[in-house]
Amino acid sequence: MFNLKLSRNINSLAKQLAFICIVLCLSNIINAQKIAVPENIQAALLTKVLKYNPQITQNKNIKILVVYNQNSLLAKDEFIKGLGSNIVVKAIALKELEQSIFGFHVVYFMAGIHDYSNVCKAQKVLSVTATTRFVEQGKISLGFGIENNKPKILVNLTSLEMEGQSFSSDILRIGKIFK
């Protein structure tokens, strides 16, 4: 009798442990899908993608504004390091965007920032973000996400058109498109 009760308790405990293991494994998979593309890789991808934008003159230095806040100070530095030497970069706080945007080709909004992206539409400047949902929602035109554990170019055509920007079909063919 005692052995039977012990066996049932062990069986029950084993089932509970199996359930906990399954939940933990699934939560790790779900969290892994939420990981953003690292800033230095986004920067490298951006420099490549900009070559397919006919509105940005390729024979001169491309000028990028990087909009950051207190939460993105370190990430901002990683992004800027990844851009390379043929890019002119100026990092600004969000409140400085309206006064600083003139003469720039691209505004890159660090993770979580999209306020004032309408300034890009008004000034016909390409908006780029580290936050994929802002591209999906049409607040920002270009972003980078993860799909099948690889970086994926995200393009919102409506936002892109409002900014007076475009990309060649080569980019649109390999990117994930939103309208």
What pLDDT does residue 39 have?
93
The answer, yes or no, to whether residue 11 has pLDDT greater than 60, is: no
- Both 45 and 30 in a single domain? no
Residue 122: CATH number of its domain: 3.40.50.2300
**Roughly how many angstroms between the first and final C-alpha of the chain, as a whole number?**
67
Amino acid at 50: L
- Both 23 and 75 in a single domain? no
Please write the tens of the pLDDT for every residue from 97-156: 999 999 999 999 998 888 889 999 999 999 999 899 999 999 999 999 999 989 999 999
More confident residue, 85 or 129: 129
- Both 20 and 94 in a single domain? no
Q: Count the neighbouring beta carbons within 10 Å of the beta carbon of residue 109.
A: 28
Least confident of 10-24, 60-74, 162-176: 10-24
- Both 88 and 142 in a single domain? yes
- Both 48 and 30 in a single domain? no
Encoded tokens for 74: 């370190």
- Give the H or E element holding residue 97: helix 97-100
Contact assessment for residue 160 and residue 142, using Cβ atoms and an 8 Å cutoff: yes
Q: In DSSP terms, which residues pair with 160 in a beta bridge?
A: none
What pLDDT does residue 4 have?
52
In degrees and rounded to multiples of 5, residue 29 shows phi and psi of -65, -45
The answer, yes or no, to whether residue 70 has pLDDT greater than 70, is: yes
**What distance in Å separates the CA atoms of residue 1 and residue 110, rounded to the nearest whole number?**
65
What pLDDT does residue 17 have?
39
Number of structural domains in the chain = 2
Mean pLDDT of the chain: 83
**What distance in Å separates the CA atoms of residue 40 and residue 18, rounded to the nearest whole number?**
39
**What distance in Å separates the CA atoms of residue 173 and residue 121, rounded to the nearest whole number?**
24
The answer, yes or no, to whether residue 76 has pLDDT greater than 70, is: yes
Closest C-alpha among 87, 66, 70, 64 to residue 78: 66
Residue 83, domain extent: 39-178
What pLDDT does residue 6 have?
47
What pLDDT does residue 169 have?
94
